[in-house]
């Protein structure tokens, strides 16, 4: 609820601090005292248009601060949390209007935009009357109000959830179909790329192996000459190294029979001979292999060129090329499943369409029944509010296509005058009529969706017994929501839980507005003033007391 309001340099208000209570807060005072300026201040908190004309003469800026008590309002606290606004149950909102039309907004101590302010505070306060009737003036709210009265809000939310899933599936299918041609082109390209890489039969490390072999074959002449020469030197004839070594081994072995100390030397030489013989035979085989591959170098060059071409297209190394091929194959699999995915989406859409048809039918029936009951109830309530011949109807605009909350939109129609057909409520209802219409709606469906309701001169043009009935109805609404009501009728003021008197006076040569909280005796005096004007008698005071006592009863 709205707990405090502080206004500085706004119109004729220099500085005004007002505290409000739960229940019914009544504001009274002479015409022009500044009651409407308090409503202007609340409108600024709601994100309303800010004009430098509102700034008190001689001041550089005007400001409005509001403190809201949100204890127990879990949905609102969650909304604030989602918006990144820390709130421990108490929320401070401040708006500053500067010369030149500039303004600043603070929510919970941090800077914010006017649009964020508007989105937030429309969930905190609604004003009905001569200024902004935010709810009834916006026809998009009428369907929600009807659903609230008809008891179909849960069905509405269920439909909205299904509709969201339906729209998501349709969008996914549209994106799939829209990309059909591009997908075909992509499929052709990826198929070619996968085949090109696959045909190359690459394996990791191949490029290094080929480069090493190419280096060897590029110098095959030298390698052949070296290997042949080394083989001849080691093993080629009787004069070769191994032949000489064999003779030395024989000599040392013979000497070893004379001196056993030479036996190990003979064994060492025997081992060296075996190793050299192996090396010689390896050189012989190596020389033979070099001679046996005359066309191999050309094959290597062709293979390396092929690998280089693939590297320029798909990756800097064979590992990268093979990784690219894996990605291509995975995407090919996905593209290949498009038809299956398309079929599954079409089936899901068909199921959701059937569900929407079923839910929408139930919702439409509930709304039709609710509209009939709402018409009866509203016309009865309006009759009690001195609008005996008023007509109230709900006009439906139906569609074969599902919308967010059903297959229809609705608009409330209204006729305050006999013989006139009902027309768009949002276009023809006056401020006072809007206040009474909303008051009537609240009698029929006393929800507490918005914590604070402000009724601005809801009693315009009303007198007699009907005045007390308006006070009674406001009191009934105030059991579930905080109500602020501006009134000129004592019969309405008598129902106040808190009575505030708005006065205008002159201080230091300047006009200024103040607010007085009325105790029981002061309330009697104020209601007596409202009854009799300037000439308040003891009889008038007694009448005022009786009026308050009757309101309590």
Residue 30 maps to which CATH number? 3.40.50.300
pLDDT band at 482 (very low <50, low <70, confident <90, very high): very high
pLDDT(12) > 90: no
pLDDT(447) > 70: no
The answer to whether residues 216 and 331 belong to one domain is yes
Between 552 and 131, where is the model more confident? Answer: 552
The answer to whether residues 220 and 319 belong to one domain is yes
Mean pLDDT, to the nearest integer, of 507-523?
87
pLDDT band at 132 (very low <50, low <70, confident <90, very high): very low
The answer to whether residues 204 and 332 belong to one domain is yes
pLDDT(481) > 60: yes
Bridge partners (DSSP) of residue 92 are: 67
At 364 the pLDDT is: 95
pLDDT(329) > 70: yes
The answer to whether residues 215 and 325 belong to one domain is yes
pLDDT(85) > 70: yes
The answer to the question of residue 323 being in a domain is yes
Give the chain's mean pLDDT: 86
Tokens of 420: 């006139």
Q: Which residue has the tokens 């009863």?
A: 553
Q: How far apart, in whole angstroms, are the C-alpha atoms of residue 181 and residue 198?
A: 26
Task: Decide if 38 contacts 7 (C-beta within 8 A).
Answer: yes
Q: Which of 294, 317, 336 is the last residue of a domain?
A: 336
Q: How far apart, in whole angstroms, are the C-alpha atoms of residue 306 and residue 303?
A: 5
The answer to the question of residue 61 being in a domain is yes
Mean pLDDT, to the nearest integer, of 491-514?
88
pLDDT band at 131 (very low <50, low <70, confident <90, very high): very low
The answer to whether residues 119 and 250 belong to one domain is no
Phi and psi at 92, nearest 5°, equal -105, 125
At 526 the pLDDT is: 92
What percent of the chain shows pLDDT beyond 70? Answer: 96
Tens digit of pLDDT for each residue in 36-52?
Answer: 888 889 988 888 887 88
Q: Please state the domain count of the chain.
A: 2
pLDDT(467) > 50: yes
- The bridge status of strand 110-112 relative to strand 2-10 is unpaired
Task: Decide if 235 contacts 277 (C-beta within 8 A).
Answer: yes
Mean pLDDT, to the nearest integer, of 278-289?
84
Q: How far apart, in whole angstroms, are the C-alpha atoms of residue 443 and residue 455?
A: 14
The answer to the question of residue 392 being in a domain is no
The answer to the question of residue 207 being in a domain is yes
Q: Which of 336, 361, 389 is the last residue of a domain?
A: 336
Task: Classify burial at 47, counting beta carbons within 10 Å of its beta carbon; exposed 0-12, middle 13-18, buried 19 or more.
Answer: buried
pLDDT band at 344 (very low <50, low <70, confident <90, very high): confident
The answer to whether residues 66 and 210 belong to one domain is no
The answer to the question of residue 352 being in a domain is no
At 357 the pLDDT is: 95
The answer to whether residues 96 and 212 belong to one domain is no
The answer to the question of residue 386 being in a domain is no
The answer to whether residues 106 and 194 belong to one domain is no
Q: How far apart, in whole angstroms, are the C-alpha atoms of residue 531 and residue 519?
A: 18
Task: Name which of 444, 457, 447, 512 is nearest 484 in CA terms.
Answer: 457
At a CB cut-off of 8 Å and minimum separation 6, what does 71 contact? Answer: 89
pLDDT band at 351 (very low <50, low <70, confident <90, very high): very high
Tens digit of pLDDT for each residue in 232-268?
Answer: 888 876 668 888 888 888 888 888 788 888 888 888 8
Which structural domain, as residue segments, surrounds residue 34? Answer: 1-124+450-518
pLDDT band at 129 (very low <50, low <70, confident <90, very high): low
Between 165 and 188, where is the model more confident? Answer: 165
At 525 the pLDDT is: 93
Q: How far apart, in whole angstroms, are the C-alpha atoms of residue 19 and residue 500?
A: 10
The answer to whether residues 331 and 213 belong to one domain is yes
The H or E element spanning position 15 is strand 13-19
Percentages helix, strand, coil for the chain, rounded to the nearest 5?
60, 20, 25
The answer to whether residues 76 and 218 belong to one domain is no
pLDDT band at 371 (very low <50, low <70, confident <90, very high): very high
Tens digit of pLDDT for each residue in 60-76?
Answer: 899 999 999 988 778 77
Packing angle, helices 431-444 and 338-384, rounded to 10: 110
At 263 the pLDDT is: 84
pLDDT(95) > 70: yes
Phi and psi at 145, nearest 5°, equal -65, -40
pLDDT(336) > 80: no
The answer to the question of residue 174 being in a domain is no
Mean pLDDT, to the nearest integer, of 146-161?
93
The answer to the question of residue 152 being in a domain is no
Q: Provide the strand spans (E) within 29-179.
A: 61-69, 90-98, 103-107, 110-112, 125-128
Q: How far apart, in whole angstroms, are the C-alpha atoms of residue 227 and residue 117?
A: 91
The answer to whether residues 7 and 97 belong to one domain is yes
The answer to whether residues 332 and 198 belong to one domain is yes
Task: Name which of 428, 369, 449, 368 is nearest 136 in CA terms.
Answer: 428
Q: Which of 285, 318, 336 is the last residue of a domain?
A: 336
At 19 the pLDDT is: 93
């Amino acid at each position: 609820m709205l707990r405090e309001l502080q206004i500085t340099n706004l119109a004729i208000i220099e500085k005004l601090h007002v505290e409000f209570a739960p229940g019914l807060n009544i504001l009274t005072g002479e015409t022009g005292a500044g009651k409407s300026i308090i409503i202007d201040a609340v409108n600024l908190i709601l994100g309303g248009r800010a004009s430098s004309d509102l700034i008190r003469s001689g001041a550089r800026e005007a400001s409005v601060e509001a403190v809201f008590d949100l204890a127990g309002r879990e949905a609102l606290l969650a909304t604030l949390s989602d918006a990144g606004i820390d709130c421990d149950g108490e929320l401070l909102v401040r708006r500053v209007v500067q010369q030149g039309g500039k303004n600043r907004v603070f929510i919970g101590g941090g800077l914010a935009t006017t649009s964020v302010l508007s989105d937030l505070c429309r969930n905190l306060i609604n004003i009905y009357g001569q200024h902004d009737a935010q709810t009834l003036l916006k026809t998009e709210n009428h369907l929600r109000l009807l659903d609230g009265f008809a008891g179909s809000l849960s069905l509405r939310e269920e439909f909205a959830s299904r509709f969201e899933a339906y729209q998501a599936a349709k969008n996914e299918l549209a994106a799939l179909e829209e990309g059909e041609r591009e997908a075909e082109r992509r499929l052709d390209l990826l198929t070619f790329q996968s085949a090109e890489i696959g045909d190359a039969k690459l394996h990791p490390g191949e490029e290094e192996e080929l480069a090493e072999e190419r280096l060897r074959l590029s110098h095959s002449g030298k390698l052949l000459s070296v290997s042949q020469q080394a083989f001849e030197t080691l093993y080629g004839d009787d004069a070769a190294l191994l032949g000489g070594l064999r003779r030395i081994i024989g000599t040392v072995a013979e000497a070893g029979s004379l001196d056993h100390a030479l036996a190990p030397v003979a064994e060492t030489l025997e081992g060296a001979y075996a190793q050299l013989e192996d090396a010689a035979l390896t050189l012989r085989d190596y020389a033979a292999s070099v001679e046996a591959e005359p066309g191999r170098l050309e094959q290597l060059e062709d293979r390396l060129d092929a690998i280089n071409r693939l590297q320029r297209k798909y990756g800097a190394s064979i590992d990268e090329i093979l990784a690219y091929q894996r990605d291509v194959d995975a995407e090919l699999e996905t593209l290949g499943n498009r038809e299956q995915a398309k079929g599954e989406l079409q089936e899901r859409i068909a199921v959701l369409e059937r569900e929407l048809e079923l839910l929408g039918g139930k919702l439409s029936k509930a709304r039709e029944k609710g509209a009939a009951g709402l018409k009866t109830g509203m016309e009865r309530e309006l009759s009690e509010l001195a609008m005996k011949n008023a007509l109230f109807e709900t006009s439906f605009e139906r569609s074969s296509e599902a919308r967010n909350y059903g297959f229809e939109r609705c608009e409330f129609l209204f006729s305050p005058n006999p013989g006139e057909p009902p027309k768009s409520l949002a276009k023809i209802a006056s401020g006072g009529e809007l206040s009474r219409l909303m008051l009537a709606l609240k009698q029929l469906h006393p929800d507490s969706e918005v914590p604070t309701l402000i009724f601005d001169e809801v009693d315009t043009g009303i007198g007699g017994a009907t005045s007390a009935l308006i006070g009674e109805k406001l009191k009934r609404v105030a059991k579930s929501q905080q109500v602020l009501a501006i009134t000129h009728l004592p019969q309405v003021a008598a129902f106040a839980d808190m009575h505030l008197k708005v006065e205008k006076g002159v201080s230091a040569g300047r006009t200024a507005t103040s607010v007085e909280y009325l105790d029981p005796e002061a309330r009697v005096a104020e209601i007596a003033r409202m009854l009799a004007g300037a000439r308040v008698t003891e009889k008038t005071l007694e009448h005022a007391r009786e009026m308050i006592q009757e309101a309590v009863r």
